[in-house]
Amino acid sequence: MNQTWQIQRGDEINYKSLLIRGGRVIDPANNFDGIADVLIVDGKISAVKPNIDFAADCQFDATGKIVTPGLIDMHVHLREPGQEAKEDFLSGSKAAIAGGFTTVATMPNTTPNVDNAALVRAMVKRAEDVGLINIKIIGAVTKGRKGLELAEMRDMIDAGAVAFSDDGSFDDNAKIFMNALDYLHDTGKVIICHEEETSLVKEGVMNEGKRSALLGLKGRPTVAEDIAVARDALLAEYTGGRLHIAHISSARAVEIVRDAKRRGVKITAEVTPQHLTMTEDLVNPVDASTKINPPLRTQADCDAMLQGLLDGTIDMIVTDHSPHAPEEKDREYMYAPSGFPGLETSIAVLLTDLYHKGKIDLPTLIAKMTAAPAQVFNLNAGTLSIGAPGDVAVIDTELVWTVDADKFYTRGSHSPFVGRQLKGRTVATVVGGNLMKLNQI
């Protein structure tokens, strides 16, 4: 199958109103699920109801498709500043549009790390200049992400940072991390934590399990994640600070979060499509596309991720979109960097492996990618409420296509989903009323 998808930008047509007609509108923030039209005027949601009678400048027929708030991804690596060979805000924005995402939050583990207000301001400006989607900036918790001294987080909040994270590393120093929770306590800002205790995952490149035992690859055990989640949950409970667990992957860690929530701890969690659907059995050291941190685990862990998602222990789905230049990934497994691009495959994988297999219903799935992240991170997004930003995704749940890295908008190439036939795809993404159709040519 040779499919090329082209983003056709509506802003070249210059219209003021857009009417998306006849789709199944799923807006979890308003508990709405039904056939309706969505009218966007001057970049804001103007009406959501059946058979809107309005002579819009632009119309899009969504019959047979689902129409949702623009998807939100609170965990991407758009690699600016300094790592533009992997991705930049423009290539990353196009990848987001291709996946139905209208708001993404980019991580600060760049070169240099985004750990001060000047850099946050520069990145906010850069996001505005690119202007295709809403790119939110996450600042570092500690200077240089070294885990030794707090970064100037209040300056960064004033400059526009939406959250803080030393993602990519675990802050081994418990005292510094406790200080961070305390320091941000009155701000309402959330700390997003990469939870793998450092000494237990040193040199590890895949899950420690049956497969690593046979392959001889060094392992990253689940207990490294469990310890980290447990420590941080206890510190969040003790301080009253707001903690968000990044890319949770271990069944035991889900139990810890569930227990912490029951105790009233201000803890939330996210999971990726890969940790919901793929296992260590896919790891073959010939191809580093499966190399990610935390690593792909076991089927029992995948099952626990789904259970956690369904019972509310896990609040949201993120991609952990982590592109690398092709030559960086095309090498020995142990030397290749961790991560792969996920924005363009996320919704398709989730529809294929969860929705079409009857494991999750559409309103729940969409809530985890819209209303939930908007609520946890206090974003003006993720809803089709009247007056909200005109951000919409139109998704064809039945469209079958094959993932082809040559057709990616991201600069990343190596993804374990490459070559898979998926069922479901974003066909149009609307940002601030600007319709971007994904035309198959």
Partner 1 sequence: MENISEVSLLGKSVVALENFTPEEIRLVLDTAYGMKKIICRGGDKKLSNLRGKAIINLFYEPSTRTRTSFELAGKYLGADVVSINSGTSSIVKGESLRDTLRTIEAMGVDAIVMRHKAEGAADYATKVVSPVIINAGDGAHAHPSQALLDLFTIEQKKGRLAGLKVAIVGDILHSRVARSDVYAMTKMGIDVHIAGFKTLLPRFFEFEGVTVHENLEDAIKDADVINVLRIQLERQQAGLFPSTREYARVYGINEDRLKLAKDDVLILHPGPQNKGLEISSEVTYCKQSAIHDQVQNGVAIRMALLDLTLNGGTK
Quick one: 164 or 333, whose CB is closer to partner 1? 333
Q: How far apart are CA 137 and CA 408, in angstroms?
A: 23
To the query of whether residue 320 is one of the catalytic residues in this protein, the response is yes
Q: Which of 301, 320, 353, 396 is catalytic?
A: 320
Binding pattern to partner 1, positions 334-373, x when CB under 8 A?
Answer: xx--------------------------------------
Residue of the chain from 84, 182, 330, 361 that contacts partner 1 (CB under 8 A): 330
Half-sphere exposure of 239 (CA within 13 A, CB side): 24
Q: Which is nearer to partner 1, 212 or 239 (CB)?
A: 212
* Interface of this chain with partner 1, residues 264 to 293, rule: CB under 8 A: 284-286
Neighbours of 397 (CB within 10 A): 18
Cβ distance 8 to 48 under 8 Å?
Answer: no
CB of 218 to partner 1, least distance (A): 8
Stretch that binds partner 1, among 5-13, 185-193, 330-338, 417-425 (CB under 8 A): 330-338
C-alpha to C-alpha distance for 303 and 301, rounded to whole angstroms = 5
Sign of the four-CA dihedral 225, 230, 235, 241: positive
CA distance linking residue 192 with residue 268, whole number of Å: 9
Closest C-alpha to 58, from 435, 395, 429, 428: 435
Alpha-carbon distance values, 27 to 267, 366, 372, 379 (Å): 25, 8, 11, 16
Distances (CA, A) of 111 to 133, 184, 258, 326: 23, 25, 36, 19
Of residues 218 and 407, the one with the C-beta less far from partner 1 = 218
Q: Any alpha helices (H) in 197-345, and if so which ranges? A: 198-201, 210-215, 222-239, 251-262, 273-277, 299-311, 326-329
Instruction: CB nearer to partner 1: give 149 or 332.
Output: 332
Q: How far is the CB of 222 from partner 1 (least distance, A)?
A: 11
Among candidate residues 265, 245, 230, 261, the one with its CA nearest the CA of residue 194: 245
Q: How far is the CB of 64 from partner 1 (least distance, A)?
A: 42
* Shortest distance, position 196 Cβ to partner 1, whole Å: 17
Widest Cα–Cα separation across the chain:
65
- Of 89-97, 139-147, 323-331, 414-422, the segment contacting partner 1 by CB under 8 A is 323-331
Backbone dihedral region of 139: left (phi > 0), alpha (psi from -120 to 50 degrees) or beta?
beta
CB closer to partner 1 out of 135 and 205: 205
Structure tokens at 339: 């991560």
Closest separation in Å from C-beta 211 to partner 1: 8
Per CB under 8 A, which of residues 221..260 are in contact with partner 1?
A: 221
Q: Is 331 in the site for partner 1 (CB under 8 A)?
A: yes
Give the nearest distance from C-beta 107 to partner 1 in angstroms: 27
Hey, which residues between 191 and 220 contact partner 1 (CB under 8 A)?
A: 208-210, 212-219
- For partner 1, the closer CB: 210 or 263: 210
- Residue among 219 and 412 whose Cβ is closer to partner 1: 219
Q: Which string of x and - marks every residue 156-195 that binds partner 1 (by CB under 8 A)?
A: ----------------------------------------
232: Cα separation from own chain's centroid: 21
Which residues are annotated as catalytic?
Answer: 320
Residues that bind partner 1 (CB under 8 A): 208-210, 212-219, 221, 284-286, 327, 330-335
